[in-house]
């Protein structure tokens, strides 16, 4: 009798188990779209599981004036609780003007262009021929020795967007394109040369529209980057007052200048006003101020650390111990701002422009 009871119990347990209703797994459709609404991928994801995009990195084609870089999805990817669409977003750099940038090994067709100093290949790409002023390594890990003569591909200049509002754009170069002294002559008792921005060689070089006497020379920045491309940039008022230096006192600030191109001030790079442009409110090291150098800048002797360069602000500094202005503020390779002697030749220039928006 005891044995029969055990068998019956087992039978009842089995029937109860087999008679239960199986749970239904809910699934949701996840759609991954590109910027223009085209579908990149779809997937079915179980409820409360986090979807994963497994396709190729989304891309957006460049236009004449904008270059796009994938920046993630339009919203946070969360566990699936309903059908959901995610759309790819992009950061964009403004493309304007051109400059020699990347070492290349082209097959040159024809002679040098007497108007620009450029060489061309069969595809119409332009190159500038230059002897390296020091040893350096290219972006592609090519070792270049001082005195080596190479061709450098002329590429559109990428501009980092500081602000775009009210029909106007404020931009600075994404990379450091060229080296230059803040001023070419150091102050002395016999010939005092101050660090006034409006009288500096960096100011005249960055705005210079006159062609060099020999087109094999790189020449003034404005001429090389814009004039030979038939681009004219209207001048704007650039503020160079004491406040722009961020100093409580400064003897070497100057009147406003009317410039097509200019260097950023210490104030603009510190975010000390409402338009902070994404920079921190201090001189301390910060990656937001970092800028990589091009091959051409390194060929011209740019001081670097992991290919990040140093670059001048337009702001003079004021040393109490000197009756002359011998220093100006510089952004270092870790992003902090300090003062350095204005005759330093291996620091770069990071041009900035303010122009009407171009779409």
Residue 8 lies in a domain: no
Same domain, 36 and 155: no
Same domain, 101 and 88: no
Same domain, 67 and 128: no
Please tell me the predicted confidence (pLDDT) of residue 147.
Answer: 97
Residue 20 lies in a domain: no
Give the C-alpha separation, 346 to 344, whole Å: 6
Tens digit of each residue's pLDDT, the chain (359 residues): 444 443 433 344 444 445 556 678 899 999 999 999 999 999 999 999 999 999 999 999 988 888 898 999 999 999 999 999 999 999 888 899 999 999 999 999 989 999 999 999 999 999 999 999 999 999 999 999 999 999 999 999 999 999 988 899 999 999 999 999 999 865 555 666 678 899 999 999 999 999 999 988 999 999 999 999 999 999 999 999 999 999 888 888 999 999 999 999 999 999 766 567 889 899 999 999 999 999 999 999 999 999 999 999 999 998 766 677 889 999 999 999 999 999 899 999 999 999 998 87
Same domain, 83 and 126: no
CB 289, CB 333: distance < 8 Å:
no
Same domain, 182 and 259: yes
Residue 4 lies in a domain: no
Q: How many CB atoms lie within 10 A of CB 75?
A: 11
CATH value at residue 32:
2.60.40.4270
Please list, in sequence order, all residues whose beta carbon lies within 8 angstroms of the beta carbon of residue 210, skipping any fewer than 6 positions away: 219, 220, 223
Please list, in sequence order, all residues whose beta carbon lies within 8 angstroms of the beta carbon of residue 101, skipping any fewer than 6 positions away: 152, 153, 154, 155, 175, 177, 294, 295, 296
Same domain, 176 and 89: no
Q: How far is CA 205 from CA 16, 200, 211, 261, in A?
A: 90, 9, 11, 10
CB 91, CB 68: distance < 8 Å:
yes
Same domain, 124 and 271: yes
pLDDT tens, residue by residue, 253-262: 999 999 999 9
Single out the residue of 281, 330, 329 nearest to residue 309, CA to CA: 330
pLDDT tens, residue by residue, 308-340: 999 999 999 987 666 778 899 999 999 999 999
Same domain, 278 and 206: yes
CB 58, CB 6: distance < 8 Å:
no
Same domain, 88 and 112: no
Give the C-alpha separation, 6 to 109, whole Å: 97
CB 246, CB 239: distance < 8 Å:
no
CB 260, CB 235: distance < 8 Å:
yes
Q: Looking at 93, 118, 137, which one is the last position of a domain? A: 93
Residue 14 lies in a domain: no
Q: How many CB atoms lie within 10 A of CB 169?
A: 19
Residue 288 in tokens: 């937001």
**3-state class (DSSP) for residue 296:** helix
Please tell me the predicted confidence (pLDDT) of residue 321.
Answer: 67
Residue 11 lies in a domain: no
Residue 7 lies in a domain: no
pLDDT tens, residue by residue, 54-64: 999 999 998 88
Residue 200 in tokens: 């500096």
Question: Counting beta carbons within 10 angstroms of the beta carbon of residue 7, is it exposed (0 to 12), middle (13 to 18) or buried (19 or more)?
Answer: exposed
CB 183, CB 119: distance < 8 Å:
no
Please tell me the predicted confidence (pLDDT) of residue 320.
Answer: 65
Please tell me the predicted confidence (pLDDT) of residue 222.
Answer: 98
Same domain, 185 and 272: yes
Q: Looking at 66, 93, 120, which one is the last position of a domain? A: 93
Q: Look up the pTM and report it.
A: 0.81
Domain count within the chain:
2
Q: If you average pLDDT over every residue of the chain, what do you get? A: 89
CB 240, CB 262: distance < 8 Å:
no
High-pLDDT (> 90) share of the chain, %: 73
Same domain, 184 and 52: no
Same domain, 205 and 254: yes
Residue ranges making up the domain that contains 64: 27-93
Residue 275 lies in a domain: yes
Residue 2 lies in a domain: no
């Amino acid at each position: 009798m005891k044995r029969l009871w055990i068998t019956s119990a087992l039978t009842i347990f089995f029937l109860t188990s087999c008679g239960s209703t199986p749970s239904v797994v809910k699934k949701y459709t996840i759609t991954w779209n590109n910027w223009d609404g085209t579908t990149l991928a779809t997937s079915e994801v179980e409820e409360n599981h986090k979807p994963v995009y497994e396709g190729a990195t989304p891309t957006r084609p460049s236009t004449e004036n904008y270059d796009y870089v994938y920046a993630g999805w339009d919203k946070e990817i969360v566990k699936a609780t309903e059908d959901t669409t995610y759309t790819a977003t992009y950061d964009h750099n403004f493309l304007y003007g051109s400059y020699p940038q990347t070492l290349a090994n082209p097959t040159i067709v024809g002679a040098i262009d007497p108007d620009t100093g450029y060489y061309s290949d069969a595809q119409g790409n332009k190159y500038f021929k230059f002897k390296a002023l020091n040893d350096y390594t290219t972006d592609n890990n090519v070792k270049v020795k001082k005195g080596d003569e190479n061709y450098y591909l002329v590429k559109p200049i990428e501009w980092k967007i500081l602000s775009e509002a009210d029909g106007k754009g404020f931009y600075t170069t994404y990379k450091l394109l060229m080296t230059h002294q803040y001023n070419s002559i150091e102050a002395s008792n016999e010939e005092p040369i101050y660090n006034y921005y409006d009288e500096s060689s960096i100011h005249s070089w960055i705005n210079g529209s006159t062609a060099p006497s020999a087109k094999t020379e790189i020449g003034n920045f404005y001429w090389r980057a814009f004039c030979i491309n038939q681009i004219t940039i209207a001048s704007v008022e650039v503020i160079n007052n004491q406040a722009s230096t961020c100093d409580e006192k400064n003897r070497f600030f100057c009147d406003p200048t009317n410039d097509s191109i200019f260097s950023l001030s210490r104030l603009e790079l510190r975010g000390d006003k409402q338009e902070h442009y994404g920079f921190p409110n201090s001189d301390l090291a910060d990656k937001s101020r970092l800028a990589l150098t091009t091959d051409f800048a390194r060929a011209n002797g740019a001081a670097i650390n992991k290919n990040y360069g140093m670059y001048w602000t337009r702001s003079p500094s004021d040393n109490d111990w000197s009756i002359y202005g011998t220093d100006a503020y510089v952004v270092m390779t870790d992003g902090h701002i300090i003062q350095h002697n204005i005759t330093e030749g291996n620091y770069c220039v990071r041009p900035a422009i303010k122009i009407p928006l171009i779409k």
